[in-house]
Structure 1
Amino acid sequence: MLTPYLPYPDSSGGQIRTQNLLKHLKKKHDITLVSLIKDPTETQYIPILEKNFCKKVKVCLRSRKPFTLKNIIKTGFSLQPFLVVRNFSKQAQQAIAYELANNHYDLIHVETFYAMPHIPSGTKVPVVLVDQTIEFKVYQHYVKEVAPLPLRPLLNIDVLKLKHWERFYWRRANRVIAVSDKDKEEILRLEPNLRVDIVPNGVNLDFFKQKTSWKTSKPTILFVGNFHWLQNIEAAQTLITKILPLVKKKLPQARVWIVGQHQPDSLKALASDSVLISDIAEDDADSIVKAYKEADIFCTPIKGPGGTRLKNLAAMASRLPIVSSSVGMAGLGINPGEHAIITDSPKSMATAIIDLVNNPKKAESLTLASRRYVEQNFSYQVIADKLSRIYQQVSSQTP
């Protein structure tokens, strides 16, 4: 298995997904994990991974910071997009070639298309490519909605390169796996001849503590995320600057609580008596669990596509009522009004939050249905079993 991150500690959606899948896949498979790391100190986690999640771990350095002069120049004079250049490691390419030449493997599992350049082009070992999100759509949204106007023409060139190579590596894989119906439809729209399966994201149901009361006169509205992800910054800013002021007109004691890693100064600057900013360490899982347990409403005003949506599954597992944009819950298959309140404007989100605070029985009913839904559909054991069946299909179909 090749991942563009070390799946320990589990601070981002991708890390959480990979770590939990490895935990269950280990029961049936011997897995060699090759992961890219940004900091040599991450090697301290190798013994934990080899003890609990996989047979062997190899880590390979990539550039610590994305926007280095070397990466920018290489992107400018290359047909490859910045995302591929930034995540490429010659060390990883050599390590994978060595493993394939000196050991027998039934298949190669690659997480994210931009890790694919590390796989030897002539390998006979079948490749299963998992695209956790359609990357070019994510960057397309960023360029259109967030990027400074003078930079947009240049960035749009990179988006075109990104789209070309993402499609190229989909075609090169023996099987492509999406995490939602929506992503599968988009992949097949662009590449109708591909075989695409769905292996959704999951949630560790035993990890999160369930709420038992939904009555409050001082509501705390929670948003959780890893703020390396641009969409999370955008969503947090929307919640603080556009939704909270509308909520406070009816619920003056309401406050917003932003919890997550790598929060930028622009977000920290918004802290106030009504806005609590908790910038936590990457391995601080306890603070995440505590936030889901203590908050009253989970609000996800995500606008941009992509991402794992694990934050929403965690809220559902914690029986924390959710008010979300349609994009924020995309791909989870929930029934609006039964499992979560889905609405898209700041005004309608504020109205929904106020309604749930004023109607604790409604909030309780919503969370009971959402907890049952994740129990039935998003257990990692069930998801890992599905992925294991795909492994067997692909390895048996390839000479």
Structure 2
Amino acid sequence: MDILFLAHRAPFPPDRGDRIRSYNILKHLSGRARVHLVAFVDDDAAVTDEDRALLGECVVIPRTKSQVRAAAEALATGRPVSLTAFADRRVTAAVNAIVQRHPIDAVYAFSGQMAQYLPADVPLTIMDFVDLDSAKFDAYADDAIGPMRWMMKREARLLGAFERSVARRVTAPLFVSAAEAALLPGSRALENGIDTVRYDPQRSTPVHSAHPLIVFTGQMDYRPNVDAVTWFARSVLPLIPRAHFAIVGRAPTAGVRALAGQDVTVTGEVADVRGWLAAADVVVAPLQLARGVQNKVLEAMAMARPVVASGPAAEGIDHAGTIRIAGDARDYANAITALLNDPAGAAALGHAAREQVIRRYGWTARLTPLDDLLGLHAERQVV
């Protein structure tokens, strides 16, 4: 079987939320079929020989279009910016060439931006929206003012219409959680997993901290993460005496870097996030806007850390009561302080979280539904 895999960001290296998901899906499929990849790449992409060995053809195209140009194209054509930002004739040409060269039996499109490249004559099409982006922009509009509010509302409306039209014509529209899938009729969930061998506290060396350490991990130019750490540093941390807050993740914005001080560390990109997780007395995920399954929460649970998360950050995860949920600043401060004052209880909570992740979120179990969707049952040998 030949599968064409389309991705808005090449899955290499698998070191951030979307790339972790797309990489593990691609790896799963490549063990059962011949997979051809067409993907955009960012500046930090690194495609190794080992990665290419998973694939038949591998076409990666740098994404060079500016947001200003994408917005201008969107306004001129009546399309969502999310689509014009990823509209590229080079991708269209690459897709057409692969379809002509290979007997493509199925297409797996990762992220809604790539739906515009779905070939018309392939019998099986899987559209992995991951999250419902139109709902995200609708939420952004609630906090915006003036022209930006109008732009966010426009994006939500146009993108929502596009998502619904795509869902009606593909074989299976997928989302990262049941809650996300419920937002688009006819969709189903394909949940994220976690590599519990890699994310094992026994395999990691903790960084040193002289004070009780609270850790947040994530891509630090992503707006929900920026808003979360800014709120936490300003509203929650002052309520927790002697604690230190570490913001761990690449590309921190100027606003995030400005949070650094005596009680806050902003690391920027680190070689291995596991050392920070292993050192954490508590991991927090205070996101107010969170779609689907949060990898940062799964990673902390797998590392047997006690987690305090917002309702939205925990919503897509079957945590079975093994993490603490908090709302306002006082809720967070009380939950974190209670864990810091009870190391044995915190350790027990972290252990229970890891056991839950092992039971529920191994990648093999999470991706098995793809075998039925695509008729893939026998492992093939990758050479």
| TM-score scaled by length of structure 2 | 0.91
Amino acid of the residue matched to residue 134 of structure 2? F
Matching residue within 210, 214, 226 for 1:221: 214
1:203 corresponds to which residue?
194
Matching residue within 148, 170, 173 for 1:173: 170
Amino acid of the residue matched to residue 139 of structure 1? F
Partner Cα distance (2:302, 2:62) in 1: 35
1:279 corresponds to which residue?
268
Matches within 5 A, 1:374-389: 374-389=357-372
2:150 corresponds to which residue?
153
**SS in structure 2 of the partner of residue 31 of structure 1:** strand
**SS in structure 1 of the partner of residue 215 of structure 2:** strand
Matches within 5 A, 1:1-399: 1-39=5-43, 42=45, 45=47, 47-51=49-53, 53-63=54-64, 65=66, 67-68=67-68, 70-120=69-119, 122-145=120-143, 147-188=144-185, 194=186, 196-210=187-201, 218-247=211-240, 252-280=241-269, 284=271, 286=272, 288-306=273-291, 308-335=293-320, 338-392=321-375
**SS in structure 1 of the partner of residue 188 of structure 2:** strand
Task: Summarize deviations over 1:283-317 as a string: whole Å, max 9, x none.
Answer: x3x2x111111111011111113254001000011
**SS in structure 2 of the partner of residue 128 of structure 1:** strand
Partner Cα distance (2:225, 2:345) in 1: 27
Given that residues 262 and 279 in structure 1 are in contact (C-alpha distance below 8 angstroms), is that contact kept between their aligned partners in structure 2? yes
Given that residues 37 and 60 in structure 1 are in contact (C-alpha distance below 8 angstroms), is that contact kept between their aligned partners in structure 2? yes
Partner Cα distance (1:266, 1:307) in 2: 26
Query: Which gives a bigger RCO, structure 1 or 2 (Cα 8 Å, sep 6+)?
Result: 1
Give the unaligned 5+ runs of structure 2.
377-383
Given that residues 49 and 57 in structure 1 are in contact (C-alpha distance below 8 angstroms), is that contact kept between their aligned partners in structure 2? no
Amino acid of the residue matched to residue 190 of structure 2? V
Given that residues 112 and 130 in structure 1 are in contact (C-alpha distance below 8 angstroms), is that contact kept between their aligned partners in structure 2? yes
Structure 1 position 64, deviation (Å): 5.1
Amino acid of the residue matched to residue 188 of structure 2? D
Structure 1 position 158, deviation (Å): 2.1
Given that residues 297 and 321 in structure 1 are in contact (C-alpha distance below 8 angstroms), is that contact kept between their aligned partners in structure 2? yes
Task: Summarize deviations over 1:180-235 as a string: whole Å, max 9, x none.
Answer: 111121112xxxxx2x332100111111231799xx99311110011232111111
| TM-score scaled by length of structure 1 | 0.87
2:379 corresponds to which residue?
none
Structure 1 position 5, deviation (Å): 0.4
Partner Cα distance (1:154, 1:130) in 2: 25
Structure 1 position 268, deviation (Å): 0.2
Given that residues 25 and 384 in structure 1 are in contact (C-alpha distance below 8 angstroms), is that contact kept between their aligned partners in structure 2? no
Partner Cα distance (1:205, 1:266) in 2: 33
Given that residues 177 and 293 in structure 2 are in contact (C-alpha distance below 8 angstroms), is that contact kept between their aligned partners in structure 1? no
Amino acid of the residue matched to residue 382 of structure 1? A
**SS in structure 1 of the partner of residue 358 of structure 2:** helix
**SS in structure 1 of the partner of residue 184 of structure 2:** helix
Task: Summarize deviations over 1:310-343 as a string: whole Å, max 9, x none.
Answer: 01000011001100001011111223xx310012
Change in CA separation of 1:78 and 1:46 when aligned onto 2, cut-off 3 Å: farther
Partner Cα distance (1:277, 1:187) in 2: 38
The number of residue pairs the alignment matches comes to: 368
Task: Summarize deviations over 1:49-103 as a string: whole Å, max 9, x none.
Answer: 112x3333111233254x23x2121011122111111112211111111211221
Amino acid of the residue matched to residue 343 of structure 1? A
